[in-house]
Amino acid sequence: MAYPEFDAPSPHHAVEPPHERRGVCFHHTVLGFAETIAFMQSPASRVSYHVVIAPDGARARLVPEERVAWHAGVSSFQGREGCNAFLLGVAFAGDTRVAPLTEAQVESALEWLEARWARLGWSLDWMTDHRQIAPGRKDDLAPVEWERLRAAIAARFGG
């Protein structure tokens, strides 16, 4: 594995029912990497991603992917509401409205996807971002950065 990955457990998740893992919702955190982890671990926050990716590509695992993390809120995708049940939450540290994803962040995300893509039967149709599943309420990712990430996923895995 090219990028380091470590556990930084967040208590903000549900054990049952198990996560359906149909696809992925990407986010940006606005906060920095360490600040994001601290926030996800804070008892008051009640929010979490499955994984957060640092600008250098390092990944922190916050919630086991078999469990439902609380990243999407009120949301709808593929005709279904409540995306937390079926989309894993992958977040990039930083704010894509202010600065683009680093190459290492994109590569690390692809590496993370690679380990799951075939096994979980994923396709490009099941990749999205928070802005698209919560329109008017959320603005992550910046559209240009979503298009860049989507193109990178398509180039690596096809449609």
Task: Give the one residue of 140, 142, 145, 149 binding Zn ion; rule: CB under 5 A.
Answer: 140
Nearest approach, Cβ of 45 to Zn ion (angstroms)? 13
Neighbours of 51 (CB within 10 A): 21
In this structure, are residues 153 and 124 in contact, taking their beta carbons and an 8 Å threshold? Answer: yes
Q: Which is nearer to Zn ion, 35 or 121 (CB)?
A: 35
Q: Does 129 bind Zn ion (CB under 5 A)?
A: no
Q: Does 130 bind Zn ion (CB under 5 A)?
A: yes
| C-alpha triplet 140, 143, 148: angle, nearest 5° | 105
| Burial classification of residue 115, based on how many CB atoms lie within 10 Å of its CB (0-12 exposed, 13-18 middle, 19 or more buried) | exposed
Q: Which is nearer to Zn ion, 112 or 118 (CB)?
A: 112
Q: Which is nearer to Zn ion, 1 or 144 (CB)?
A: 144
Q: Which is nearer to Zn ion, 140 or 145 (CB)?
A: 140
Q: Does 27 bind Zn ion (CB under 5 A)?
A: yes
Chain positions contacting Zn ion, by CB under 5 A: 27, 130, 140
